[in-house]
Structure 1
């Protein structure tokens, strides 16, 4: 290829003005005594920009695969894009005649981070397009990569997930127009096999005894945590006030909710009219909500000056409960006139409750354990 350059060591790195570095494909090992020699080939990956229906830009890590006839996208990324999914029925075949059924397809606009290249492309949706690449993180410290190189994947040596596979349809066009440099490396390392094996055994031993404390947050969960940290405040009565963590770009898509809320209310009233005991318990719940200040009457509903979302509510009966047999559930997943619900607008934060196994283990490390029941924690 014209413009190809070679840089000596490590092993050897070939730099081509195209897309970037890459990830683990082949691995072979030769053992001589206690010394282990391994060689790894890195596949071409790139960090690209993909647009959703609202115009928001999301960065995603893509694998450039000239051996694929189609483009693929992970279910996780397709859900973040919030785009319309078309129903398809396609069989995807791979190595060893393995076959996978694909039921959904989306269209999305991809852009390059380093040029003005953009293209509308179709993607087949799979639960997971491929394994993390590279399969193990490669130490690139000391690699003689010239200054000023705009790599399509700056963190090419870090083992991370792949959300997109760009097939042969756009492979060469992306290489020519969308990226600056491609690095292909035959990475070699020598390790002491015996010490590596012993270190692995010791690590696994201590991992069994360790109580996990750290959690890895997704970008959306991290954003939710940041919004909480910047918006939380304490009122004069001692209560904490926190703003709802919203997707501001999706907030404008929230449609009218008053009509469906009224229809659901009429359905609930017909149900209550048939069950006097349920009607009394439901009414008591609403009166308690008013008394505690968890809700208030909206006086001006004809000419609304602010955007409101009305939540339908209905009773849920749990006969086995020893405290409250009837609970009122507010349905934030109810779709508005635009097809977007309040839950679609709100960010999904991380799970703040520890895993049950961790709780049990932690209670065995201390002499005293306190147990409490928090009532109406999120009502007001």
Structure 2
């Protein structure tokens, strides 16, 4: 740090700086696609893609010209690009294995609403899935000493993926995070890469505020490498600091050293970047030089000066203001508990919002992957992009079917019931026999083993379970591994139960054979083949090949397909009880309540007519 003229002030108490440290672990950080994989890689070596929105030489996620979410969606629709990977195909045909890097939903990161909305807010976040930890706030007060005390500051070039500039940096190993001012972030054209939640309070204050700050990555230029530094963007790091340039120029043990903060004629300076302990030791080195004055610590950008200046040459020492740093640690438990309290109070009253990006993906699948034909919905399987080759599993499926038959021989009643279930499904059009086993080269063929599971039921003592996670070899993929594991949008179960108990008459029902009543697209039927006896009454009869014509229960994507189909049907066919059904729907069950018998009879009639239109009863 350089030094200058002495500070003469008549004020009794002058604040010097305020620094922020530590952050709550509730993070939505995502990876920066421009960040090098190791510190020695410079940003300019990163290959820059072309933006699909403005055709600029930058990532589509980091586009600053077109930020509006709706405008980006319209551009993709006009260009007929996939909402998930931004390529030229439909979303339902997208096989990309990547999800949004912010919310992990099935859409491109540039379409995530968290990216387009302002993240710096004084309101607490709505999620509490992280551990409840402490946050610290580092403040400064003012004391008096016989000489000024220098902090480790430096002047160095910093760069982003767009531009470079000179910045004044404070190195503080007492801070657990690094920070950058909004002014410098705008100058560097930094694009946020995530956000973190901080719990802040002023020095001596009892009030606390929860703030959400953007994160970004800057690069400190050194003679050897460009060092990436992850920073939190704050409006201000500290108030203006005073320099003491003339007081270090005469010190003999510092004359031959290259100082990180070179001497200048400026009397004041403002801290633009604070480097905390998270990156402190990436820059600061081991050599320490002591003398009659501040201590010099070697770093990659020069020697940093820290400590008190000597006052021996002063005729009449005068008091100097000194930064006195105080770490205030507090718990965020109270804020979390209070927020959870209000969330519980609003259950059943306030509708919980679903992430917009995930809703958009579901709508795209409903539009392109689900069709309505002859009074019945037909759905496609959501395949992963570039999924590995799916083996047929014919041999292992045949062996396991034979094993099931041999096991059921010992219980003829269960064997008969097993055959009756499959015969009933064939009559209702859920499955079909395959007479021509030949298939085209482009058709996927896969066989699924199945086995019985006993139930405590007089009418249905067993249930047939299909193993879509069967591996033919240790390293071969399964059917479930080749399909998207997209979770369905489900209502809050607590809210459903509260509404179920609210009125006098409680209603409970379910959709009969919900999965099987949704047809499977012909292109996907051959991956659902399975074996069973050609004569169910003869255990020694040859095996017959069947395949599903409907969505089978056992595939990882089946709940998502069911939910997307039912919600699409409810949106297309509105009635007086549609909203009540939507609020009480949970997978294939509906729980609700009504105030009187008349409303109950109307609900019964309307709900049956509504689901009859989709052949779901």
Closer, same or farther: CA 249–270 of 1 in aligned 2, 3 Å:
same
Corresponding residue to 1:287 among 404, 407, 423: 423
Aligned to 1:89: none
Match status 1:154 vs 2:193? yes
* 1:47 match: 31
Q: What is the alpha-carbon distance in structure 2 between the residues aligned to residue 219 and residue 336 of structure 1?
A: 36
Instruction: Check if 1:275 corresponds to 2:271.
Output: no
Secondary structure of the corresponding residue to residue 397 of structure 2 = helix
> How does 1:111-190 map onto structure 2 within 5 Å?
143-145=182-184, 147=186, 149=188, 151=190, 153-156=192-195, 176=225
Which residue, out of 434, 438, 452, partners 1:315?
452
Q: TM-score when scaled to structure 1? A: 0.51
Seen in structure 2, the aligned counterparts of structure 1 residues 302 and 156 have a Cα distance that, compared at 3 Å, is same
Distance in 1, Cα, partners of 2:386 & 2:342? 45
**Cα shift readout 1:83-102 (whole Å, capped 9, x = no counterpart):** xxxxxxxxxxxxxxxxxxxx
After the TM superposition, which residues 86-125 of structure 1 pair with which residues of structure 2 at under 5 Å, given as runs? none
If asked which structure has higher relative contact order (CA below 8 Å, sep 6+), I would say 1
Pairing 1:346–2:479 present: no
Partner of 1:244: 381
Q: Could you give the per-residue CA deviations for residues 310-369 of structure 1, whole angstroms, max 9, x where no partner exists?
A: 111111111x22431111111111124552111112222334443442221012334544
Q: Hey, what's the Cα distance between the residues in 1 that align with 2:221 and 2:378?
A: 53
1:291 Cα offset (Å): 0.5
Contact conserved, 1:258 with 1:309, CA < 8 A, in 2?
yes
Asked if structure 2 preserves the Cα contact closer than 8 Å seen for 1:47 and 1:59, the reply is no
Partner of residue 26, structure 1: 22
> Which of 221, 224, 227 in structure 1 is aligned with 2:365?
227
1:328 aligned residue: 464
Q: Is the 8 A contact 2:500 2:507 kept in 1?
A: no
- How many residues of Structure 1 are paired with residues of Structure 2 in the alignment? 251
Q: CA RMSD in A?
A: 5.0
Cα–Cα, structure 1 residues 152 and 278, in superposed 2: closer, same or farther, change >3 Å? same
Say whether the 8 Å CA contact 2:221–2:227 is kept in structure 1: no
**1:297 — aligned with what?**
433
Q: Distance in 1 between matches of 2:445 and 2:405?
A: 23
Contact in 1 for aligned 2:30/2:194 (Cα 8 Å): no
Aligned to 2:563: none
Residue 178 (structure 1) shift:
8.8
Return the alpha-carbon distance in structure 2 between the equivalents of residues 199 and 263 of structure 1. Answer: 59
Q: 1:224 to 1:208 in 2, by over 3 A?
A: closer
Q: 2:230 and 2:496 mapped to 1: Cα distance?
A: 49
> Which residue of the partner structure matches residue 193 of structure 1?
none
| Structure 1 residues 59 and 235: alpha-carbon distance in aligned structure 2, compared to 1, 3 A threshold | closer
Residue 47 of structure 1 aligns to a residue whose secondary structure is: coil
Helix, strand or coil: the match of 1:272?
A: helix
Residue 510 (structure 2) aligned to one of 356, 373, 377: 373
CA gap of 1:60–1:205, structure 2 versus 1, over 3 A, is closer
Partner of 1:214: 352
| Deviation (angstroms), 1:266 | 1.3
Whether contact under 8 Å (2:185, 2:233) holds in the other structure is no
Provide the residue aligned with 1:262 in structure 2. Answer: 398
List alignment gaps of at least 5 residues for structure 1. 1-10, 14-23, 28-39, 62-75, 77-112, 116-132, 160-170, 189-196
Structure 2: how far apart are the matches of 1:364 and 1:149?
A: 57
- Once residues 377 and 114 of structure 1 are traced to their aligned partners in structure 2, the CA distance between those partners, rounded to angstroms, is 52
Superposition deviation, residue 256 in structure 1: 2.7
SS at match of 1:271: helix
Deviations 1:120-153 (A, max 9, x none): xxxxxxxxxxxxx99xxx9x9x932455735374
Equivalent residue number for residue 120 of structure 2: none
- Structure 2: gaps spanning 5 or more residues: 1-16, 38-94, 105-159, 163-175, 199-219, 239-332, 517-549, 551-617
Deviations along 1:132-191, whole A, 9 cap, x unmatched? x99xxx9x9x932455735374344568xxxxxxxxxxx999x95696996675758xxx
Take 1:178 and 1:263, find their aligned partners in 2: how far apart are those partners? 59
How many Å separate the matches in 2 of 1:341 and 1:264? 16
Contact 2:370–2:377 (Cα < 8 Å) also in 1: yes
Q: Compared with structure 1, are the counterparts of its residues 148 and 26 closer, same or farther at alpha carbon in structure 2 (3 Å cutoff)?
A: closer
For residues 58 and 207 of structure 1, the distance between their equivalents in structure 2, rounded to whole angstroms, comes to: 28
- Note closer, same or farther for the CA distance 1:234–1:324 as it changes in structure 2 (3 Å cut): same
CA distance in 2, matches of 1:368, 1:313: 41
Maintained 8 Å contact 2:97/2:384 = no
What TM-score results when the alignment is normalised by the length of structure 2?
Answer: 0.33
SS in 1 for 2:395: helix
- Bigger Rg over Cα: 2
For 1:221 and 1:343, the matched residues in 2 are separated by: 23
